[in-house]
Amino acid sequence: VWKGLTDELDKLGFNMIALNYDWRRWGDPKMVEEYVAMFKQRIEQEVGSGKPVPIIGHSLGCTVTTYCLSVLGPAWVRRHISKIVLVGMVMQGSPKVTAAFGHTPITIVGNLPFTMPTAIEGIITDTMATWPCLVTTFPQRIGGEILTFAEDDPLIVCPSKKY
């Protein structure tokens, strides 16, 4: 997806800058906070005193982008962002969907037939029983307040040891 897209944007004269993130750490509150600060600084640096810039997000980058923009707020977005293009969002069938729901502002997922705590306690708990690696996609805290799991809950329970 990126190669064709970047080739076409290059032909149109766009100056593209990648704002990479470590997808394995998305959900770590410290990393997310640092990333939002870097995202803000880099966009402001590109805009300078000029006109707002377009942003393209791909896959989990769509969720990262919408999260950053929600934290920075509508006034900041109006001043710095001209367009937002989201390509291949992870919201339909990706194993990263849980982290996406956990980090996406409630206004975006507000039309779901369940709340996050309900999903965590019911739907997702049932899924995790048969798909243990799903736990790696969970944020540590949802909305900064709700613990996904109690801090002393073991991840793996073996006959002689808990991890």
The Cα-based distances of 146 to 14, 105, 142 in angstroms read 41, 14, 5
pTM equals 0.54
In a domain, 20, yes or no: yes
Asked if residue 122 belongs to a domain, the reply is: no
Structure tokens, 138:
């969970």
User: Which pLDDT does position 117 carry in this prediction?
Assistant: 55
What pLDDT is attached to residue 93?
Answer: 46
pLDDT at 87: 80
Residue that the structure tokens 């049932």 belong to: 126
In-domain check, residue 144: no
The distance of Cα 133 from the centroid of its chain, to the nearest Å, equals: 18
Phi and psi at 137, nearest 5°, equal: -90, -5
Q: Is 93 left (phi over 0), alpha (psi -120 to 50) or beta?
A: left
Q: What is the pLDDT of residue 39?
A: 94
pLDDT recorded at residue 139: 53
Q: For residue 37, is it within any domain?
A: yes
d(CA 51, CA 82): 8
Distance between CA 148 and CA 1 in Å, rounded?
33
Q: Per the structure, how many domains does the chain have?
A: 1
Assigned domain for 14 exists: yes
Residue 142 lies in a domain: no
The SS3 assignment for 144 reads coil
Whether 132 is in a domain gets the answer no
In a domain, 145, yes or no: no
Regions of the chain where pLDDT drops below 50: 92-93, 104-110
**Helix/strand/coil (H/E/C) assignment for every residue in 6-68:** HHHHHHCCCCCCCCCCCHHHCCCHHHHHHHHHHHHHHHHHHHCCCCCEEEEEECHHHHHHHHH
Range of the domain at 49: 2-111
What CATH number is given to the structural domain containing 15? 3.40.50.1820
